[in-house]
Amino acid sequence: MTQEKGHGDRKLETLSYLPIPVASLRADTVTNFDLYLPSHDGRTPVLYRDGVFPITTALLDRLRVGKVETLLVKSTDEENYRHYLESNLGSLVADENMPLEERSALLYDSARNLVRDVLRDPRAGNVLRRSEEVVSHMVRFLFADKQAFYHLIQVTSYDYYTYTHSVNVFVFNIALAARLGVREEDLHDFGQGALLHDIGKSKIDPNVLNNPGKLSPDQWRIIKMHPIFGDQLLLEQGCKSEIVIDIVRHHHEKLCGGGYPDNLSGDDISAWVRISTISDIFDALTTRRPYKAALDSYHSLRLMQEEMSEELDPDFFLAFVEMMGNIERPRHPGRK
Ligand SMILES: [Fe+2]
Ligand SMILES: [Fe+2]
């Protein structure tokens, strides 16, 4: 515990507390975690608000007047803070006083944490409800402001983890579908399918999944099972959406045939899946893994054009190239 450490141990202090933006606190909510004021002289942070007392408008005003933009929570409360953010996402996203970049980062982090929880425990009872809610906030955010997509792309992770990859695919999917003229209200199942598309990987041994070497035929056979595992998991959860199941089960199918698990081709592959496949491949190419460097957007799109054109829907791919043409995904060394 921090209190047991000697005063002045800045390094340990930093490890024990997590800075949070004051802007992420909502009036008339109860955090259930304590808030601390940072100390500028290396001393233990000072308790500012006990978590059982509601956050009031007066308290937020006082912080604003005092130009306090950051408070601290104990690292042990990190999970509680994330759940607090998730349950207040609607009001955070709609808060025009908060810069778009900050809202983008909060949304991205909430979606990423949600997918990470889902992958850890895909049978948790609330997987579908939580993902529906996050999806609806993100879709609304992306449609509310033309710059929102750009800002969300800026915060997409450059390092590959299944959970960050899932959020990135979601962002590309929604942006492309919107560009193709799909209406906001028709994108919720599509977004949920993107966010959960690799949920079946939760049933695969991480040592196989992250194997940097050449996979044995047996390991490859197991990895190719993840769309079927995902389909099963969602059915067990009571998922009723054919679109969600379609994306989860078919995102590795190829337009020319030869994909897995059902070896579909041509018109048997839905438009939802065709878009998801493009986003899925693009994100895999543009993110870094322990065993491969990331390609930049230009080289990724060129590789897709030269080596995968038979597999991908040509019209959707062209629209994707036009959409990504002017956007380079930045490197975010600190962000995972
Ligand atoms: Fe996949
Ligand atoms: Fe994927």
88-324, what's its fold?
Hypothetical protein af1432 (1.10.3210)
User: Mean pLDDT of all residues in the chain?
Assistant: 89
Q: Sign of the C-alpha dihedral, residues 109, 114, 118, 121? A: positive
256-277 average pLDDT score: 98
Identify the top-confidence range among 40-54, 56-70, 316-330. Answer: 56-70
Residue 76, phi then psi, degrees to nearest 5: -65, -15
CA of 158 to the centre of ligand 1 (A): 18
Predicted confidence band of residue 39 (pLDDT cuts 50, 70, 90): confident
CA of 112 to the centre of ligand 2 (A): 14
CA of 197 to the centre of ligand 2 (A): 6
174-195 average pLDDT score: 95
**Residues having C-beta closer than 5 Å to ion ligand 2:** 198, 280
- The ligand with the least distance to the CA atom of 231 is 1
**Residue 9: predicted pLDDT:** 46
**Residue 328: predicted pLDDT:** 61
CA of 15 to the centre of ligand 2 (A): 33
pLDDT at 137 over 90: yes
Predicted confidence band of residue 179 (pLDDT cuts 50, 70, 90): very high
11-25 average pLDDT score: 78
- The ligand with the least distance to the CA atom of 250 is 1
Contact (CB, 8 A) for 94 and 88:
no
Domain boundaries, the chain: 1-77, 88-324
CA of 169 to the centre of ligand 2 (A): 7
CA of 199 to the centre of ligand 1 (A): 8
